[in-house]
Amino acid sequence: MSKRVLLHVNPNGQTNVEAEGYEGGTCLDATKVFEDMFAKTVGQREMVGECAGGNPDMGERVR
Amino acid sequence: MSHNITLSGVKFNDMNLLGNIVQQLSNGSAMLDMQAKNFRTYAGQPTGCDAAIKMAGRHDIGLKNENGAYVPVFDPYDMADTFMCKDSRQPIGALTREYTLQQAEYEAAQNGMTTNRIPGKNGVVTLEVLDNS
């Protein structure tokens, strides 16, 4: 299955993450995508943004 | 009053990449100095650092080592706008954004993924990452 991740890179160093095509489509899935694929890149940066259907406190946003 | 600010949410951990981006965005007018112990800032402000980005203007960007990653410290007053994000008016926004984008593009390529940059509002750039495996 084709998977698509959107990293919204903000000039202030924050990055919002959206993930599509991952099983379940929950915020936790997005967190796992984030950790698996981009932890080295943006793992030290704060994730902020809206969260659809998950835990807003996690700060992720998932389609 | 002018004062140093610390971007605690920004941490640079690939200094080779950072040095290359500093060169690219400044067209060679700025450079990363990993040996620097002081950086130029507004008079009276602390100048100690673990590395610095030497700027063409009167003020530099200090870099402080925190657990192996470098955090930028600088006084935006009278600093050259070399790395300013013009859309968001953040003084080194273009630098932090480009660093994040290039790191993500590199890691995506290493994992066999393709990427595409999509300009957005207020200086935000969206990196679309496609995994067709």
β-bridge mates for residue B115, sequence order: B129
**Contact B126/A at CB under 8 A:** yes
What's the average model confidence in pLDDT over B39-65? 93
pLDDT (0 to 100) of residue B18? 94
| pLDDT tens digits, one per residue of A5-61 | 778 888 876 777 776 554 434 444 444 554 555 544 443 333 333 333 333 333 333
Determine whether A35 is exposed, middle or buried from the number of CB atoms within 10 Å of its CB (0-12, 13-18, 19+).
Answer: exposed
Residue with tokens 């981009």: A38
Which chain A residues touch B130 with a CB distance below 8 Å? 2-4
- This prediction's pTM: 0.78
Sheet holding B125-131, edge to edge: A15-20, A3-9, B125-131, B114-119
Give the three-class secondary structure for A40.
helix
Sequence ranges of the domains in chain B: 5-130
Give the closest residue to B89 by CA, choosing from B123, B120, B41: B123
pLDDT (0 to 100) of residue B107? 77
Instruction: State ipTM.
Output: 0.83
Mark yes or no for CB contact B13/A10 under 8 Å.
no
SS (H, E, C) A12-30: CCCEEEEEECCCCCCHHHH
**Contact B103/A at CB under 8 A:** yes
| Residue predicted with more confidence, B39 or B12 | B39
Q: How far apart are CA B11 and CA B130, in angstroms?
A: 26
Give the three-class secondary structure for A34.
helix
pLDDT (0 to 100) of residue B133? 67
Mark yes or no for CB contact A44/B11 under 8 Å.
yes
Q: What is the mean pLDDT of chain B?
A: 88
β-bridge mates for residue A50, sequence order: none
Which chain A residues touch B10 with a CB distance below 8 Å? 12-13, 45
Q: How far apart are CA A4 and CA B131, in angstroms?
A: 6
